[in-house]
Amino acid sequence: LCGDLQTQVPFPFSLLCLQVIKCKAAVLWEPNKPFSIEEVEVAPPKAHEVRIKIVATGICRSDDHVITGGLVMPFPIILGHEAAGIVESVGQGVTSIKPGDKVIPLFVPQCGECKSCLSTKGNLCSKNDIGSAAGLMPDGTTRFTCKGQAIHHFIGTSTFTEYTVVHESAVAKIDSAAPLEKVCLIGCGFSTGYGAAVQTAKVEPGSTCAIFGLGGVGLSVVMGCKAAGASRIIAVDINSDKFAKAKELGATECVNPKDFKKPIHEVLIEMTGQGVDYSFEVIGRTETMTAALASCQYNYGVSVIVGVPPAAQMITFDPMLLFTGRTWKGSVFGGWKSKDSVPKLVADYMKKKFVLDPLITHTLPFTKINEGFDLLRTGK
């Protein structure tokens, strides 16, 4: 009856058809505890909101930072921000997306109206919830309830649930033929790393690069440096098990800091003469951020911070590192304007311009999410 009504009455009336959905979600009730698979209630989308059935979601170190306290968020919370799914319903006023569309939620929204969205220089929309960490929808409320308790959202996405609600500015419609279990990585890991190289640093052909950290994001930086035509791509990690994959994706050399008695930046300077043209910190540790800065060329080297900085930690460094001309930059979501760029990146994947399969090490059922995080923490 609902479907028939929608064709005969004005749109606002058809909103009466939208119901609360009960589904499974991985709720994190407090820090440093495992996820609890719970039945949650997901409210219908309000005006300019979209409710999505999540088909596939990736595990990212940023989710783990919330668990350990490195990234401070309110509890209880549903984490997850790297996913792909199918639109289940839309709220009033949503015109760009309809039920049945394949989509990727965007933890960096694109409202199209704020200074960053209007500038060609930036991509961090002011509507993001990374800095404020409110854990709520833009109207200051939540769409999740569990055991009668309100559950917080995570950076506007919350994908560790069978259904989620996002704002219209935080979702991108993608190719209907795209395999969601692959392109979910374009929701964070791949785009963040690849974009840090080609979009933020703008790596040039023939340049030398060093990548600190070879998780999924770091390997995506390797891919970006290769796509940009870098002549030397030096992969740095304390886990040598990751070197084979790094070389498969484009690294020309791999270095384990544990193999040397001297600081790693000195090793890289010796390897390259005066340091690399571009360095990338893809771990989220203050020591490696300063090491990456020190390892790039003293006058025109560019170092990009890609890893999420730990909460309440400060960096102390010799200002001479910058005075001589180095550039220190940050990169959120690879510098991409999300709503514009994600559909194009999915299209490029469909045209085989880059690969995603090597970034996927395990595929687990949703109920084994805690095992997935164990694999993350053990470097597997």
SS3 317: coil
pLDDT at 312: 77
Q: Which of 81, 153, 167, 265 is catalytic?
A: 81
**Alpha carbons 118 and 125: distance in angstroms, whole number:** 9
Spatial neighbors of 178 by CB under 8 A, at least 6 apart, are 84, 102, 346, 349, 350
Choice among 62, 169, 220, 341 that is catalytic: 62
Instruction: Establish whether 60 is a catalytic residue.
Output: yes
62: annotated active-site residue: yes
Q: What is the pLDDT of residue 67?
A: 95
User: Which listed residue (117, 188, 225, 254) is catalytic?
Assistant: 188
| 81 classed as catalytic | yes
Dmax (CA) of the chain:
75
Question: What is the per-residue pLDDT for 14?
Answer: 44
Digit-by-digit pLDDT tens for the chain (380 residues) are 344 334 444 444 444 458 999 999 999 999 999 999 999 999 999 999 999 999 999 999 999 999 998 889 999 999 999 999 999 999 999 999 999 999 999 999 999 999 999 999 999 999 999 888 899 999 999 999 999 999 999 999 999 999 999 999 999 999 999 999 999 999 999 999 999 999 999 999 999 999 999 999 999 999 999 999 999 999 999 999 999 999 999 999 999 999 999 999 999 999 999 999 999 999 999 999 999 999 999 999 999 999 988 887 899 999 999 999 999 999 999 999 999 999 999 999 999 999 999 999 999 999 999 999 999 999 89
Alpha-helical (H) ranges within 49-162 are 61-68, 115-118
Q: How far apart are CA 67 and CA 35, in angstroms?
A: 9
- In this prediction the pTM is 0.93
Question: Does 153 participate in catalysis according to the annotation?
Answer: no
Alpha helices in the chain (DSSP H): 2-6, 11-14, 61-68, 115-118, 180-183, 189-195, 216-227, 243-248, 264-272, 286-295, 320-323, 338-350, 369-377
Q: What is the pLDDT, as a whole number, of residue 322? A: 96
36 is an active site residue: no
Which domains are assigned to the chain?
Answer: 22-39+49-169+184-189+336-378 (3.90.180.10), 201-330 (3.40.50.720)
Pick the catalytic residue from 65, 153, 167, 265: 65
Q: Specify the pLDDT at position 17.
A: 59
